[in-house]
Amino acid sequence: MKKRYLLPIMAVMPLSLFAQREATVTLKTNEANQKISKHIYGHFAEHLGTCVYGGLWVGEDSSIPNTNGYRNDVLEALKEMKVPVLRWPGGCFADEYHWTDGIGPKENRPKMVNNNWGGTIEDNSFGTHEFLNLCELLECEPYISGNVGSGTVEELAKWVEYMTSDGDSPMANLRRQNGRDKAWKVKFLGVGNESWGCGGDMYPDYYADLYRRYAVYCRNYDDNRLYKIASGASDYDYNWTETLMRKAANQMNGLSLHYYTVKEWGPNKGSAINFNKEDYYWTLGKAIEIKDVVNKHIDIMDKYDPRGRVGLLVDEWGTWFNEEPGTINGHLYQQNSLRDAMVASLTLDIFNQCGSRVQMANIAQIANVLQSVVLTKDDKMILTPTYHVFNMYKVHQDATMVPLDITSDKMDVGGKGNRTLPMLSASASKNDKGVINITMSNVDADNDQTVTLNIPDVKIKSTKATIITAKDISSHNTFEKPEEVILKDFKGVKVEKNGSLKVKMPAKSIISIQVN
Ligand code: AHR
């Protein structure tokens, strides 16, 4: 029997006494039969702070190098990382957004106050065309979040027509007048966002009825087929899911869910970079609780939709810390450390393995807001530790998931229900060329971990590995030092005589192994 260390969080200090941890991972290659949807590697761009303006879009006349207004450095980074789907324009912003303000000549577009996010003046220079053209550049699917809170059924119905109708229809002709002849393909349509809160403060019964009404008038034009998504619950609100499924499951393709790794709502969320080991472990414990939360929502969905037709879309997830000191209040600008990288790897491991019900996930948000993959300052851009995880994990997009048996030490990290954190997280997949990719995180802040990796029935010819780690759990990239946390080649993988792999994982590291 393997010895397990069960350490209470108060005993974090003595952890360094353990010189070496051990874990075993066994791939069940013969049971690999389910695809990991690339859409669980999705992103989210809201009109919030400098996510869109400054982060993605600088405008054609900017001195910052750009392609049709999109900054080149960010475009290049996002293409490399592979964005499969991008949600826009919110978030809370979506339920105050009137799409007709964001079309036509820029000089005629009205301004508005971004009431949700710091009262910033929004000039609508980034609108429907700018967003959908960006998706074409990134070769990703657009996910439009429609205004239910302060909009009308007619307004959303016409937006759908404007984007997707190729006929001689009034909205298609308006689009043509604005310079776009061919309709875009828009599959994912969100009908409201957080309708229980910033999206209209509705009760679930009321929203379910409203959802049904909106869904009727959001039409399929020509060969465009909408995938309609109802605004879903926040983390532990199971009653919302229950009501929506009971009243409107037949009218929806997907139901959303938001889960943030946040200590508490309010001013004490903690700093993104000044934290101790206790905070680190607490955060990881909270992050992996998403698995239980997702499963509980799935149980409810199974009751009303036993065939699993309706998707669960975790269309907002990620860390939420205090805004960086000196930044604009309400812009949610936060730094990103190795701890965020761990949150990303652990969460993606969960999504990789949570089955076909979870059809999409979108980390919040793509640039300069919450757990971003890029941070920008004027003409400079840095890649965050979270970026490197998404870049490392892109091998799993649309590959076949390989189930795993994992034996590792665990730690009691406190929190709701006294959370337990396994010291090793992993996921694996096989691509269409037969290449197996395994990603593993040694979450231990102090101790290396030797992992025995068994891959039965596979004759290993060669392996190639990369690693993300850094000096401290709080290490992060800055505009002055952009390479404190990056992806590097890793040489700690050995093929044993018995055909298994021995992997010496440094403390607080994330690695990816390609097995050929
Ligand atoms: O991602 C930031 C905000 O968090 C979104 O606008 C909202 O949907 C959620 O509360």
Position 16 in a domain = no
Instruction: Tell me what pLDDT residue 164 has.
Output: 98
Answer yes or no: do 410 and 335 share one domain: no
Answer yes or no: do 370 and 477 share one domain: no
Answer yes or no: do 350 and 454 share one domain: no
> Token match 């995880």: residue?
389
User: What are the pLDDT tens digits along the chain (516 aa)?
Assistant: 333 333 333 334 344 445 579 999 999 999 999 999 999 999 999 999 999 999 999 999 999 999 999 999 999 999 999 999 999 999 999 999 999 999 999 999 999 999 999 999 999 999 999 999 999 999 999 999 999 999 999 999 999 999 999 999 999 999 999 999 999 999 999 999 999 999 999 999 999 999 999 999 999 999 999 999 999 999 999 999 999 999 999 999 999 999 999 999 999 999 999 999 999 999 999 999 999 999 999 999 999 999 999 999 999 999 999 999 999 999 999 999 999 999 999 999 999 999 899 999 999 999 999 999 999 999 999 999 999 999 999 999 999 999 999 999 999 998 887 899 999 999 999 999 999 999 999 999 999 999 999 999 888 999 999 999 999 999 999 999 999 999 999 999 999 999 899 999 999 999 999 999
Answer yes or no: do 155 and 283 share one domain: yes
CATH number at residue 422: 2.60.40.1180
Cβ count near 458 (within 10 Å): 16
Position 7 in a domain = no
Instruction: Tell me what pLDDT residue 104 has.
Output: 98
316 lines ligand 1 (CB under 6 A): yes
Number of structural domains, the chain?
2
Task: Examine the fold and report which residue of 350, 381, 401 is the final residue of a domain before the chain moves on.
Answer: 401
Answer yes or no: do 365 and 389 share one domain: yes
Position 60 in a domain = yes
Structure tokens at 496: 């044993």
Answer yes or no: do 289 and 170 share one domain: yes
Position 58 in a domain = yes
193 lines ligand 1 (CB under 6 A): yes
Cα(442) to ligand 1 centroid in Å equals 30
Answer yes or no: do 354 and 463 share one domain: no
Among 198, 313, 317, 368, the mutation site with the greatest number of ligand 1 atoms within 8 A of its Cβ is 198
Alpha-carbon distance of 176 to 157, in angstroms, equals 18
> Token match 């199974």: residue?
302
Helix axes 338-352, 385-393, angle to 10 degrees: 30
Active site positions, annotated: 194, 316
CA quadruple 365, 371, 376, 380: dihedral, nearest 10: -130
Answer yes or no: do 38 and 157 share one domain: yes
Residue 400's H or E segment, with its range, is strand 400-402
What is the amino acid identity at position 43?
H
Cα(331) to ligand 1 centroid in Å equals 11
Residue range(s) defining the domain that contains residue 502: 404-515
Task: Examine the fold and report which residue of 362, 380, 401 is the final residue of a domain before the chain moves on.
Answer: 401
Residue 281's H or E segment, with its range, is helix 277-288
Answer yes or no: do 360 and 248 share one domain: yes
Answer yes or no: do 450 and 322 share one domain: no
Going through 61-140 in order, the beta strands assigned E by DSSP cover 66-67, 70-71, 85-88, 112-114, 120-122
Cα(53) to ligand 1 centroid in Å equals 17
CA-nearest of 43, 30, 144, 29 to 394 is 43
Answer yes or no: do 411 and 369 share one domain: no
Structure tokens at 191: 């009908």
DSSP 38-65: GGGGEEE--SSTTSTBTTTB--TT-SS-
46 lines ligand 1 (CB under 6 A): yes
Give yes or no for a contact between 386 and 365, defined as CB atoms under 8 angstroms apart. Answer: no
Position 417 in a domain = yes
Position 11 in a domain = no
Instruction: Tell me what pLDDT residue 19 has.
Output: 52
Q: What is the pTM of this model?
A: 0.95
Q: Which atom of ligand 1 is nearest to the CA of 234?
A: 10
Answer yes or no: do 390 and 495 share one domain: no
Position 3 in a domain = no
CATH number at residue 182: 3.20.20.80
DSSP SS3 for 84: coil
Cβ count near 313 (within 10 Å): 29
Alpha-carbon distance of 281 to 395, in angstroms, equals 27
Position 92 in a domain = yes
